[in-house]
Amino acid sequence: MRKIKALCVYCGSSSGFNPAYQQAATAFGQELARRGIRLVYGGGKVGLMGAVADATLAAGGEVYGVIPRQLMEKEVGHTGLTSLEVVETMHQRKTRLFELSDAFVALPGGFGTMDEMFEMLTWAQLGLHRFPCAFLNIRGYYDLLRQSIDHMVAEGFLRSPQRDSLWYGTEPEALFEWLENYQATDVPKWIDARTVKA
């Protein structure tokens, strides 16, 4: 069983139209604090990012943020965190989030959330890290994404063990249990249509 010390959360700088998203982000932050897991995230004070950070802090947890200077200067940086690093570029932000974390979870979000999470999935596929990646599927938000990933496997662009190494679910309790029992898979990225079946 692995001990998760610092969990990177990718999520929206918007809250979405349904209050359930923010409620779930708040509950997730509270659970991180209860478990003594440090939240690592993009450093924003708005949207789901702000909700999960505020909830973690309010419950006595630690929160480390990393934000590009451009966004900090637009006054969306959260100045009440345990630690806030200001970096120059988005690439530096993503690298620091990776360096500070030992697991990655996506809550609902847009392009930025997808970019960050899929970079971690790609790095895992290439063998650059062996950390777990998961989607907290609030209100079925990631149902269509899961179907798309199944389609990648069916069409021969992704191996089934790589797809199966991801977790999707709605319950934080089940997520944390999965994180603690995660075993990385060693599956080469490259697919040879003559020898591999999905």
Helix axes 19-35, 47-58, angle to 10 degrees: 40
CATH code, residues 6-180? 3.40.50.450
Count the residues in the chain: 198
Q: Give the pLDDT band (50/70/90) at residue 31.
A: very high
Whether the predicted pLDDT of 163 surpasses 70: yes
Calculate the CA 146 to chain-centre distance: 15
pLDDT, one tens digit per residue, over 104-147 is 999 999 999 999 999 999 999 888 999 999 999 999 999 999 99
Q: Which pLDDT value is given to residue 184?
A: 83
Mean pLDDT of the chain: 92
SS3 39: strand
Q: Which pLDDT value is given to residue 196?
A: 47
Whether the predicted pLDDT of 97 surpasses 60: yes
Whether the predicted pLDDT of 187 surpasses 80: no
Q: Give the pLDDT band (50/70/90) at residue 192.
A: low
C-alpha distances in Å from residue 152, one per residue of 21, 32, 94, 148: 28, 33, 25, 6
pTM of structure:
0.91
Handedness of CA 12, 26, 54, 6 (dihedral sign): negative
